[in-house]
Structure 1
Amino acid sequence: MLRKLSKAGFAIQLLFTIAGAVFIAFTPGGSFGSMLFDSGNAWPVILPPELLPSSPGTLQYLNAGLLLLIALFINIILVKHDLMPHQSFLGALIFILFSWLTPASTFLFYGLVVTLLLLISLNSLMNMYMKSHPYSDVMTATISIGVASFFIPETILFLLIFVWLGFFTLRITAWREWVISIVGTFVPYFYLGVYLFFTDQLWLFWDNYVLYIQNYTLLFLPVSLLNTITIFSLIFLWLIVFFRMVAGIGDKLIAMRKRMWMVTQFQWAGIASLLLLSYQSPILLPLVYVSLSMMIVFVIYQLKPRMLIYEIVFGLFLSLAALGRFFA
């Protein structure tokens, strides 16, 4: 399947991408146990849930549209940084197919907004390669992380695991970039604080943060057997793709190696944020799919391995994910 999709024309790949997004929009979505927020453990988000569309169907279409937008952005990044041929839409297609395993949750919208913001951060950090003064890129990357943490506080880990490790990968040692990264992360909080101060909501926002931290618990709720098997197939696919990438990346150009290591660090930060999100973690699955899609595209186009094991595991995952949208 993967090999055939990679060799298909641009129009065919685009058609399958749109069809995959339509499938997400018009199917119920998987169940991952309780995805509801109790009043004592609500995020200190800036967009109250009541402002979202009240109709579950409308929100489902909105989420599918956001997934499609993220997929297009992934494709642009892969092409821009020479990780995929220009006449290919495979990165977007694989991301949409992975997204068949997403929860039917009102709060998935927040996870998608965060994923889009962090993609901006990834693109900015990848742009920094070979720049002597990448100040604007550092600022853009970290402001995106700061805004993302409004919605999901755990994503502040991207500053530590993604940006700062990325500095080591890019051999950035000047103190200015490190200071800018801290300033950029907290600039959105300054403007948010000013807004909340003048609208008399500052202390309420602060109390919500304190309450969120006090009530934090690392709890994972049981999921259905079908979703459990699907998740294990996803983990196995990630392992074989990751180790194949590590084994073959040493022969590639240094620019390609550094960019793929940044994708890997992006993935580590995403997994850490997902795990810390506790029982709400499934809403950050699209964030993990971003880096996994990029890794698979890199392996297919740049390393060209024998595809049998990848085809089997990916086909198994896709079949289980499709079933899970109806029966899990």
Structure 2
Amino acid sequence: MLRKISKLTFLVQVLIYFGLLALLWVPAILHPHQPIHLASEGPFYTWLTNIISNHDSVSVSIALIIVILLSIVLYFLGSGNDIVPRENFLPAIFYILLLSWNPQLTVMNPTLPAALFVILAISTLMRLYGEPEPFRQVFMVAVFVGMASLFYLPSVYLMFMVWITLITYRVTSWREWIIALLGFLVPFIYLFSWYFWNDEFIKGSNVIINAIDDPGLSIKELTMNEAVWVIATGFMLILSMLAFYNVIQDKLISIRRKSLVLINFVIATILMMFMSGSPLVMLVQWVYLPLAILTVINICLVKRSIVMDWMVLVYFIYLLCIRFFFLT
């Protein structure tokens, strides 16, 4: 069934996308809730939510705009790098489904604006491959990760994605590694300069230190339905990665190297889960980005993928059941 959907015209897929978007987000707009606050949120997110603190409808609208932007950028990331078939909008469809699985998360939360910068970092990392002197691209990738960290501080662990990718691309020059570190520090330099200028250096430093001072995997706040969903998502991610490994062997080396950025991102995300101390229900949202693309690859490119097709279909039916019957 999903393979048939993948073969529909681009216009029909876009119509399905907006239909699902309305189904999942109209209730949130009609009954808006306040933004989610976490101990690990960054100062930029705190400032943003303070500005819109008395306007819940504005907060939800901004969250919806970010979700739309994320899904569209994800589509261009997959098709523009020849990772998924062109004119296939399924990555965007799957991504909005995954991001909207819990009605309590169809509000502004710190992972959304952070994810916008992270997906830009991933896109830039993919374009970096083959560049003889990728100084500018490396710098921008690190700046994007630094900006993401100012919205959601555990994003600092995604710098491991950058370093692993440099190894994958066989970038051995010390200059790229130093540039990556400097690029990551630039947003923090501006932040602490602002703190210093406004006599809030110690206060601001303590806020950031306290936000990352409680490492560990946080599962104590999970409900039974959320725990089952996280386990199902982990299973689907592992299954998709194994199938992806078989598919990618026949691709050009440039496509293989670019695709490995997604795997590097998963590795960095797992590290983030175990080190950040943030609620797992929030952290699992990070794996939706590679999961959406890997799932489309497996549906469209794996030969005799009937079993995979049905497993993905059951997974998304389960998602909709949780969304509308168990977590409402």
Aligned to 1:311: 309
In 1, Cα distance between equivalents of 2:231 and 2:41: 29
C-alpha contact 2:230 2:284 (8 A) present in aligned 1: no
| Alignment partner, residue 285 of structure 2 | 286
Unpaired runs of 5+ residues, structure 1, are: 30-34
SS of the equivalent of 2:256 reads helix
Corresponding position: 1:141 with 2:141: yes
How far apart, in 2, do the equivalents of 1:204 and 1:7 lie? Answer: 55
- The alpha-carbon deviation at position 260 of structure 1 amounts to 1.1
- Distance across 1 between alignment mates of 2:116 and 2:61: 17
Q: Which residue of the partner structure matches residue 52 of structure 1?
A: 52
1:181-216 alpha-carbon deviations (Å, 9 max, x no partner): 000000111111122222222221112123334455
Asked if the contact 2:216–2:274 (Cα under 8 Å) also holds between the matched residues in 1, the reply is no
Shift of 1:261: 0.9
Q: Please list, as runs of the form range in 1=range in 2, the aligned pairs for 1:28-67 lying within 5 A after superposition.
A: 41=39, 43-48=41-46, 49-67=49-67
CA contact (8 A) 1:263 1:291 kept: yes
- Distance across 2 between alignment mates of 1:172 and 1:217: 32
Contact 2:218–2:279 at 8 Å: present in 1 too? no
Q: In the alignment, does 2:5 pair up with 1:9?
A: no
Which residue matches 2:32? Answer: none
Other-structure match for 1:248: 247
Contact in 1 for aligned 2:42/2:149 (Cα 8 Å):
no
* 2:205 paired with 1:206: yes
Number of equivalences:
319
Q: Please, which moves more after superposition, 129-138 or 41-50?
A: 41-50
Are 2:173 and 1:174 equivalent residues in the alignment?
yes
- Letter of the aligned partner of 1:87 in structure 2? E
How far residue 60 of structure 1 moved from its aligned partner, in angstroms, is 3.3
CA distance in 1, matches of 2:215, 2:187: 24
TM-score (norm 1): 0.88
Distance 2:26 2:223 in 1: 21
Unaligned runs of 5+ in 2: 30-34
Q: CA deviation at 1:180?
A: 0.2
Q: Give the match's secondary structure for 1:251.
A: coil
**Matched residue SS, 1:223:** coil
1:323 paired residue number: 321
Distance (whole Å) between structure 1 residues aligned to residue 107 and residue 272 of structure 2: 16
Deviates more, 1:102-111 or 1:149-158: 102-111
Instruction: Tell me which moved more, 98-107 or 126-135.
Output: 98-107
8 Å contact from structure 2 (residues 59, 107) kept in 1: no
**CA distance change for structure 1 residues 231 and 217 in 2, over 3 Å: closer, same or farther?**
closer
> Which position in structure 1 is the counterpart of 2:261?
262
Contact 1:157 1:269 in 2 (8 A): yes
Distance 1:140 1:146 in 2: 10
Q: Which moved more, 1:221-230 or 1:70-79?
A: 221-230
Partner residue in 2 for 1:70: 70
1:3 CA drift (Å) = 0.3
Decide whether aligned partners of structure 1 residues 153 and 47 sit closer, same or farther in structure 2, where only a CA change above 3 A counts: closer
Per-residue CA deviation, residues 109-131 of structure 1 (Å, 9 max, x unaligned), is: 31111111011110111111111
Is the Cα–Cα contact under 8 Å of residues 22 and 64 in structure 1 kept in the other structure? no
Q: Secondary structure at the match of 1:82?
A: coil
Question: Greater relative contact order: 1 or 2 (C-alpha under 8 angstroms, separation 6 or more)?
Answer: 1
Q: Is the 8 A contact 2:28 2:107 kept in 1?
A: no
**Structure 1 residues 28 and 230 mapped into 2: Cα distance closer, same or farther (>3 Å)?**
farther
1:199 maps to a residue whose letter is N
Residue identity matched to 1:317: Y
Q: Secondary structure at the match of 1:109?
A: coil
CA shift for structure 1 position 315: 2.2
Contact 1:143-1:186 within 8 A present in 2 as well: yes
Percent of pairs identical after alignment? 22
Query: Quick one: distance in 2 between partners of 1:107 and 1:150?
Result: 19
The corresponding residue for 1:32 is none
Secondary structure of 1:139 counterpart: helix
Pairing 1:204-243 to 2, within 5 Å after superposition? 204-215=203-214, 218-243=217-242
Letter in 1 for 2:226: N
More off after superposition, 101-110 vs 189-198: 101-110
Partners of 1:309 and 1:96 in 2: CA distance: 23
**Greater Cα shift, 164-173 or 204-213:** 204-213
Distance 1:311 1:221 in 2: 33
Deviations 1:80-101 (A, max 9, x none): 1112233221221121222232
Contact 1:100 1:321 in 2 (8 A): no
